[in-house]
Structure 1
Amino acid sequence: MLIDSHCHLDRLDLTPYNGSLDALLDAARARGVGKFLCIGVDANNAAAVQQLADTHADVYCSVGVHPLDLKDGRHTDLDWLLNALAHPRTVAIGETGLDYHYEPELAEQQKASFAIHLQAARKTGKPVVIHTRAARQDTLDMLREADLANAGVLHCFTEDWPMARAALDMGYYISLSGIVTFRNAEALREVARQVPADRLLVETDSPYLAPVPHRGKPNEPQYVCEVAAFLAELRGETLEQLQQQTTDNFHRLFPLAVG
């Protein structure tokens, strides 16, 4: 079994499936994808991802506020976040983090939001799904200061090995997406070769970042199979080994998603 550890089911293009999310998920299930973690990005879609988790036995969700969803004076409210996290099929916090590539002018606002998510993690014990881009030092500094017991995952990882190693040393997992298959991603492939087997996750981040040979098309959860097959070959492992290991890792990191 494979698990898509990060997807946005509420944002998928369902046109090829006649508007049916169930048909799209069935296509993934038919290829051996057994669970899906549907990610929240702001207060407006929390109810949507939670409803998807409530109505699909193999879907779980997270809630949080993406660092690029803080424009126009919007902010993260701790009470709202804690209340949303009480939902029984909400197994993680986020996605949250820092992105200075697109919005460096909102760095302080992003850090304040990230700090609230990390505070919620301390209060609930739920792991954090982290988005980080062009904010290496601030991300690592805030994670180090938070010192979380059940840390979380740096999702759709695109940074270098020193950053990965620093996060791994703090107990975090590294999740790789279809980006690792891109022709210009050799530096990321070098990271992928070095991530310890017991800290690796796979994801699609669908509908974004479809892997080769689907690059340029809308991504969907079934394409986690292409990511896994590419990584298995890259790391010199059998596909069965990588499937089992990443599934075990997912359940260790997200214990509430067991079942």
Structure 2
Amino acid sequence: MTKRRGERPPVPEALPVPVVDAHTHLDACGAQTPEQVREILDRANAAGVDRVITVADDLASARWAAQAATWDERVFAAVALHPTRTSTFTDADRAELTALAARPRVVAIGETGLDYYWDYSPPAAQHDAFRWHIELSKLSGKTLMIHDRDAHDDVLKVLDEEGAPSTVVFHCFSGDLDFARACVERGFVLSFAGAVTFRNAGALREAAAWVPADHLLVETDAPFLTPHPFRGRPNEPYCANYTLRDIATLRDVDVADLASTVTRNAERVFNLGDVVQSQ
């Protein structure tokens, strides 16, 4: 942990090639208005993070994310009901999420999955909601964005039983090398947040060093999981810069090369080029 817990980390020198923050929560970062969204994205641009996927965890957040993605061309959205919110999940909720998922700047169904760390929602409700979101991903043609906390085996079991959508991203990947191999064997993409920079995260760092380059994304999960050496301070999309640089060192590759690869991956995974062309 660093001191100055209430202060944002400094904005680092821009990356030589811009990257996409594959998972952030702009509303939880304090943005509510178009002007506040623009301020956050301007800071990100200064660090070489030129686009973000802002992700919902409840219906109000899903409405906001879908709207915010129309305020700034650098913002795209993902919509879903977070597994910890699934103790009540009504037909009206499902209908609204289905409508939001159809919007062109909504590029993913997420975050959805299983969370056995918190007990806000019983496992049965989480499983039912997860299966429904998998089906929505298939019907909408949008990427499935997975939240997996202390539930590795069951997440894979449900995906295997339901049949995974064509594109699946494990947001804030938290597994070890064996789990990474199991995911990549299934064609899934692994997105690494600031936790991969923590010096006590040996198993996670081993997975990040191994994962094939075309299965790798970088994210912030802001305002959470601020990367080392600023752990404990507020996170924002520009901090993806720190995480990418750390992963480049871990993998012993050039920062510009890794940034180029991560950008191509994000554009492919979320069909960002197609979204821009459709505007």
User: TM-score scaled by structure 1?
Assistant: 0.93
Which residue of 81, 102, 119 maps to 2:118? 102
Count of residue pairs the alignment pairs up: 254
Which residue of 28, 36, 60 maps to 1:11? 28
**Aligned ranges for residues 41-60 of structure 1 at < 5 Å?**
41-60=57-76
> 1:149 & 1:20 partners in 2: Cα distance?
34
> Which has the higher mean CA deviation after the structures are superposed, 170-179 or 156-165?
156-165
Which residue of 149, 159, 165 maps to 2:175? 159
Q: Structure 1 residues 69 and 214, CA, compared in 2 at 3 Å: closer, same or farther?
A: same
Letter in 1 for 2:131: A
Gaps of 5+ in 2: 1-17
Q: Percent identity?
A: 39
Deviation at 1:160, TM superposition (A): 1.6
Work out which structure has the larger RCO, using CA pairs closer than 8 Å and 6 or more positions apart in sequence: 2
User: Which residue is 1:169 aligned to?
Assistant: 185
Which residue of 230, 237, 251 maps to 1:221? 237
Deviation at 1:257, TM superposition (A): 5.3
User: Which residue is 1:194 aligned to?
Assistant: 210
> 2:77 & 2:273 partners in 1: Cα distance?
9
Contact 2:85/2:120 (<8 A) preserved:
no
Letter in 2 for 1:119: E
Matched, 1:242 2:258: yes
Which residue of 182, 206, 221 maps to 2:222? 206
Letter in 2 for 1:135: A
> Which has the higher mean CA deviation after the structures are superposed, 19-28 or 81-90?
19-28
Deviation at 1:145, TM superposition (A): 2.0
> 1:216 & 1:58 partners in 2: Cα distance?
27
Matched, 1:78 2:94: yes
Gaps of 5+ in 1: none
User: TM-score scaled by structure 2?
Assistant: 0.87
Which residue of 59, 63, 67 maps to 2:83? 67
> 2:249 & 2:269 partners in 1: Cα distance?
24
SS at match of 2:76: strand
Matched, 1:119 2:135: yes
> 2:165 & 2:152 partners in 1: Cα distance?
21
User: Which residue is 2:268 aligned to?
Assistant: 252
Q: Structure 1 residues 45 and 168, CA, compared in 2 at 3 Å: closer, same or farther?
A: same
Q: Provide the aligned C-alpha RMSD in A.
A: 1.7
SS at match of 2:59: coil
Contact 1:78/1:117 (<8 A) preserved:
no
